[in-house]
Structure 1
Amino acid sequence: MNSSKLRSYTAKDLAQMARQRGFAKWHSMRKDELIEALAAAGVQENALPRPRQTDREAAEALANRAERARAAASRPKPTAAQKQLAEMQRQRARLQDLSTATPTAGADRLLLLVRDPYWLQVTWEVTPSSVTRARTALGQHWHGAQPVLRLGKLGDDGAVGGVRQVKVHGGVNHWYVDVTDPPGRFRAEIGYLDLSGGFYSIARSNEVQTPEASVDEVGEHAWTDVARNADRVFALSGGYSADGPSQELRQALEERLRRPLGRPTETRFTATEARTDGAQLDVQIDAELVVRGSTAPHTHLTIQGEPVVVREDGAFAVKLPFPDRRQVIPVVASSADGMHQRTIILGVERNTKALEPRRRDTVTA
């Protein structure tokens, strides 16, 4: 131990240490001599007793403890209302945070999936850094900002014809949105809407198109398990669009399913319902459109975005809804490796007219 450390001990303590170590004439040594002798003997620090506090040091330590106790006692304790307000602020911060702690959340991603003609599922992954950037960009408007999904309905030219804003919250990474008037094309954005109406966008989704609604849609296609219907969800959500397979959508579904997507499953198509009302008669009319054809075996084929089973000989046949209007039906064939694609457009029109009701007079003999 060095001399500076030994000087923190009193002469009495040093003399006691020298006596315990058998130093000669320890009782007649001055403090400097004791320090020199103990330092030369190589006394280890962990072998020394703690230096005693002087009366002045003990008094100062006692005064400091008393001062800290008085400060703690004089500090006002939070009221029940203040505690409730603090908890509400923490809860609001959790609901405002869109970030998702998932293993794959290395970048922002928003996926739009078609569940059936009337329901869409939105899934997102948002990084904490994106939420921080949104907070910085909104500045003083951040306090009242609300996480929202903006669902836009697309026209034939790709322009957004109407936007619907759906409020969401943090702590989740998916949401279900109901839509009307199938079929329709949609695209979504996720971000923050401030009190002034300004929107800060974080991510934009893929484009999807909902299928035609059929008479038995609820009974036949009321499925909720994505794992069993992954291929159909992939196809309806734009996975096999004319621009080519969506690799981002495929990757997201395969990560969730933990398996590669297989060949499209068999899907049934059923007829729509039309109704004409006479004066006293209620008449229902069903109409179906049968599309038949052939292609190379193992070709991936979609009609109106729905996957179609191609038999081993390349033949296929499906029944489609035939609503009372003009339809443009795209038939898209893709090679098994996805490198080649061909599209055929089928245009059909149905024009149903209800004549004026006729009442026959009773004929008497």
Structure 2
Amino acid sequence: MMKYEEEYWIDYIKNNELNKKEASELLNLDIYSLMKIGDSLRSFDTGDTVSYAVSYNINYTNYCTASCPICAFYTPYKIKKYEINKPNKKGYELSLDDIKKDIEKAKALNVTEIHIVGGFNPDLSIEYYESLFKEVKKYLPDVTLKAFTIPEIDFISRTHGVSIKDLIQRLKEAGMDAHTGGGAEIFNENVRKLITTPEKISGEKWLEDAKLIHSLGIYGNSTMTYGHLENFDDIIDHMIRLRDNQIDTPGFLSFIPLKFSIENTPLYKMGKVRYPSSGDKDIKVYALARAILGKSIRNISVYWVALGKEMAQIALLSGGSDLVGTAFSEKVFGATNRKTSTSIEELNHLINEIGRIPALRDTFYNLKEYY
């Protein structure tokens, strides 16, 4: 009976877009059936290749006016003036000289992508970001510059009184190639209010901004943070709203479920989240992602930094098709004590170990080299 159900769902999903009720019904299956459904659909959508980019992260500042309970990376912007001359200050802003040092490290690692995100810091001008981007492109002209979460773009626009359209045009001219897709968190507003602050845009505004940014020729990823205060109804709602956005105005290159890393976050310190999500939940998220989004966003990406490497392999057997990237110099998840690292050789090994084919890709999911 279970095998029949698996075959029914696989055939149905290949030919239909799941609604909320159907997606919820899918969760009634046991975890192994969900894995098989996710993996079969992955094979149909993307084949047996698992891709990744060679990426280097530049986190230009951690001062932030948002100070979201879900985040361990930020230093509250309001304390900046009190610690400005302290040798052991918690906050930082990278100077252009600092960024040049990062660029030199990235160049030595032969990266294909520079990933730039940071806090909501009103002291940084648009000219600062333009100079940052120009420095990257000056020394790494062939590397893709993927910059800013959608809330960051909205914040810079609001802070400096420039429309998103004009801001994107300036950033494109300075070298921006793609956005990161971060900051989506969870779209349900009741939950969103508990894990973010009013400084961060609503879920509706995130989706609206994404459409505008995509219409201007800047594409990027889509994300969802799970494992905090949400439930599966919220997760399904989030995925379906991303799918509808993509169908209306294409531009999402991938979907990345981000498992909430609890250490050092205010949510954890307040006792609102005591444990990370279970492996069962991780599998269900990836199977749902493939079932709901696979036809509109083919690349379901597994962020090994958030999941851990062994769980990342299981996610690749549950619907995932991509390992995001090497994430050299990553600091946001690092602030939650997930101090981890990898190499091209290790990513290739993780992929080969589960019987898949490793491939280097660019930011836009064009495959460049097989291993």
Which TM class, normalised by the smaller chain length? under 0.3
Higher RCO (Cα < 8 Å, 6 or more apart): 2
The structure number with the bigger radius of gyration is 1
Structure with the largest fraction of helix: 2
TM-score normalised to structure 1 length: 0.24
